[in-house]
Structure 1
Amino acid sequence: MAELTEVTTEEKLDEKARIGAPSIPGLTEEGETLAPAQTTASPLGGAAAKSHSHGGGYGIPDSSRAGRLTSYRLEDFPAIKGTEEEWRFTPLKRLGGLHTAALDGAAPTVDVTGPEAVRVETVGRDDARIGTAGIPEDRVSANAWAHFSEATVVTVPAGSELDEHVLVTVTGAGAAAAALHLVIVAEKGARAVVVLNHVGEAVVSENVEIVLEDGADLTVVTLQEWTDVSVHASSQQVKIGRDAHLKHISVSLGGSVVRVTPTARFAAPGGEAELFGLYFADAGQHLEHRTFVDHAQPNCVSNVLYKGALQGKDARTVWVGDVLIQKQAEGTDSYEKNQNLVLTDGCRADSVPNLEIETGLIEGAGHASATGRFDDEHLFYLMARGIPEDVARRLVVRGFLNEIIQKIGVPSIEEHLTEAVERELEASEI
């Protein structure tokens, strides 16, 4: 592998920087759009609003992220060439036809276990709750929307505080390309942890809708532990209500190609979103994560932290983090960070943080990205105390990734992931 140059960028806006925020194409100095909104359907509307939009869900056609096409109709999305910003890192030839084929394979099975208070339903496409969290933002997601026949809806009742987590096990049904649709609803004031565990062999495009009603506190942990030949594209869109709190944790360990795209949108003031991620890529794996936090409401807070490790020939990871602070989102406080640890030669890690600000009246906004090898000082410190170099290297990796594992808050899941990371390290060349 060519030596990866460590790149660290960090930007934290002080008061002067906020006053002199950079201009954005298509906006006046006051942040007003120069062209009228073109949105024809609300991304937060129900089944009756399932047409399409040209405004990233909120009708800002000339902002680079907010202006991205969203639509429920597959035909609205052009064929993917691989040169598009949202697809330039993805190996389309390995995507199993999720962007081109009719997804008529058997859908993965969905099994839900948890406290009795949780409601689990299997519903048809016309259920009013489907489509309430967002509109498909790319062709693969729209293809899944076009081909799913039924959805699983998991509801945490209003006011309930679950002592046990809800486990949603998604088991692949084989190598035929398929579609899957899940809806998770935390009703007003509910507090819960929901774990999505993806296992088995699959080629699947998945849409996950997550709705937090006012005052809800929801943790969603999505585990990608597929077999080595699996292909998984997962669009996970979240609607966050007034004073609601989301913790979303994505962990990708298995699969040939995995592409997870979590999107968090604030639907009312006072919300908070924490997006955390962990990934460990081995030889030949492609693990891609694209986060988007849309600050469309005032006085909301977001924090994004993703960490990854890579080892083996042609191991590839991609993280793209988008944060949009819209004109009306005064009082926003936002930060995103990605760190990658390259363990062997032959790996590649791409890290792209993006921050768009349309108002200077915010508490703060910043981003950071770093990719590099082991910290020699850490290794020296451990080795000077009699720890062999190979053991010292593994200790550094464990400590690096454990920060994300500890944020889950479910001891059994944390223990499971710690063991999974240990297995990765046992098979490593470091």
Structure 2
Amino acid sequence: MAEAHNNPGGSTTAGSIAVAAESTVATRMSAPPSFDVADFPVPHGREEEWRFTPLDRLRGLHDGTAVADGSIKAEISAPDGVRVETVARDDARLGRAGAPVDRVAAQAYSAFEKATIVTVPKETVLTEPVRLALHGEGGVTYGHTVFELGAFAEATVVIDHTGDTVRAANVEYVVGDGAKLTVVTVMDWDRTAVHTSQQGALVGRDAGFRHIVVTFGGDLVRIHPRVTYAGTGGEAELIGLYFTDKGQHHEHRLLVDHNTPHCKSNVVYKGALQGESAHAVWIGDVLIEAKAEGTDTYEMNRNLVLTDGARVDSVPNLEIETGEIVGAGHASATGRFDDEQLFYLMARGIPETDARRLVVRGFFAELVQQIGVPDIEERLLAKIEEELEASVA
């Protein structure tokens, strides 16, 4: 498996099916963040932030022609003490975790009618997850959701996406001082669905934020997690798992903005691809601002290509404006099966097909085990098994 480490402008290639490349492009977006869609030009695909995205498959989300005409069924289950509110657009609690950074996110912010705010009061420790199930029932939908944890609260949030829709949404996570939030967001859409989502987190002083993205379904899925810090001592862990099948486009674009001293971040995303025109994109941007002394950060993306015809674009970017840091690094690796692992298993009498399955299971197992929600872990392992069955059918 080819791997690139801290080599701006370098690239590695595994055959003609997968590419891992690093870019010297600045991690800041070309247009300033804004809640107004008019502040963003219509993208044409040549822009840095859009060059990997097939715009024609966004079904009009990028150019204003996608009119809200669909429906999505939303069900929330929350433990006692958690407050769930439906609010109007003018609620002052909206937008605190950051403004949209591209036209689709701004379109989503301009188009939603009602927002949902889920609040976990300070010092509340939840023993059961807050669950939000979103099921698309066709058409175009827009949405906005805020999850807020008060100081020293602890919670796990599970967001599950199923059904069919063309959807653009913004999700905010506001993590109070000393609070700990784990988010598991599962993209298990029907194969015809389109979903774009900017997911911004504001992490308080000495707070912890774990953001776990699992992407299986959809025709096109484009997720944009962003993290900023509101106080020193904040820690963020971003984990991703994706299995991209024939014809699917899965794109994950991350930004961790170390804008506060003495904060930490760790990013690990893993993906597997199979089938003609399967395309995965991972952009990992980490910015360490001049005032963010004492930063400790690392990001890694690994991809396993199972068949010919699949493609990966993996672009880690690390921009450092101060030398007074604890550590910073990144790695990107894309390749086929590890021949040594396969040989080891086959030499012990395991058929090649079963050996390949074991390698893929092991590739994902480390991340699945970190989710911490047993029913989600079991479901994902079953989904991986289903994908592997399809690959040998």
TM-score calculated relative to the size of structure 1: 0.85
Cα offsets for 1:313-356 (capped at 9, x unmatched) = 11110000000000000000000000000000110011000000
Output the CA distance in 1 between the equivalents of 2:87 and 2:184.
23
Residue in structure 2 matched with residue 133 of structure 1 by the alignment: 97
| Worse overlay, 364-373 or 420-429 | 420-429
Residue in structure 2 matched with residue 28 of structure 1 by the alignment: none
Output the CA distance in 1 between the equivalents of 2:355 and 2:105.
42
| Worse overlay, 62-71 or 105-114 | 62-71
Q: What's the CA shift for 1:257? A: 0.2
Residue in structure 2 matched with residue 199 of structure 1 by the alignment: 162
Matches within 5 A, 1:369-380: 369-380=332-343
The AA in structure 2 aligned to 1:146 is S
The AA in structure 2 aligned to 1:165 is P
- Matched position secondary structure for 1:374: coil
| Worse overlay, 362-371 or 152-161 | 152-161
Residue in structure 1 matched with residue 11 of structure 2 by the alignment: none
Residue in structure 1 matched with residue 368 of structure 2 by the alignment: 405
Q: Structure 1 residue 110 and structure 2 residue 74: aligned?
A: yes
Number of matched residues?
376
| Worse overlay, 398-407 or 253-262 | 398-407
- Matched position secondary structure for 1:331: coil
Check conservation: 1:103, 1:179, Cα contact below 8 A.
no
Residue in structure 1 matched with residue 13 of structure 2 by the alignment: none
| Worse overlay, 88-97 or 176-185 | 176-185
Check conservation: 2:163, 2:190, Cα contact below 8 A.
yes
Residue in structure 2 matched with residue 238 of structure 1 by the alignment: 201
Matches within 5 A, 1:16-415: 64-65=27-28, 68-100=31-63, 101-174=65-138, 176-415=139-378
Residue in structure 2 matched with residue 29 of structure 1 by the alignment: none
Check conservation: 2:175, 2:181, Cα contact below 8 A.
yes
Q: What's the CA shift for 1:103? A: 3.4
Check conservation: 2:59, 2:66, Cα contact below 8 A.
no
Q: What's the CA shift for 1:64? A: 4.7
Residue in structure 2 matched with residue 9 of structure 1 by the alignment: 4
Output the CA distance in 2 between the equivalents of 1:211 and 1:278.
23
Check conservation: 1:245, 1:271, Cα contact below 8 A.
yes
Give the CA RMSD over aligned residues: 1.5
1:273–1:199 CA distance, 2 compared to 1 (3 A): same
Residue in structure 2 matched with residue 17 of structure 1 by the alignment: none
Give identity over the alignment, percent: 56
The AA in structure 1 aligned to 2:240 is G
Output the CA distance in 2 between the equivalents of 1:139 and 1:347.
28
1:67–1:213 CA distance, 2 compared to 1 (3 A): farther
TM-score calculated relative to the size of structure 2: 0.93
Cα offsets for 1:31-52 (capped at 9, x unmatched) = xxxxxxxxxxxxxxxxxxxxxx
Output the CA distance in 2 between the equivalents of 1:241 and 1:105.
38
Gaps of at least 5 residues in structure 1 are 1-5, 13-24, 26-61
Greater share of strand? 2
Output the CA distance in 2 between the equivalents of 1:67 and 1:366.
24
Residue in structure 1 matched with residue 382 of structure 2 by the alignment: 419
Q: What's the CA shift for 1:68? A: 4.1
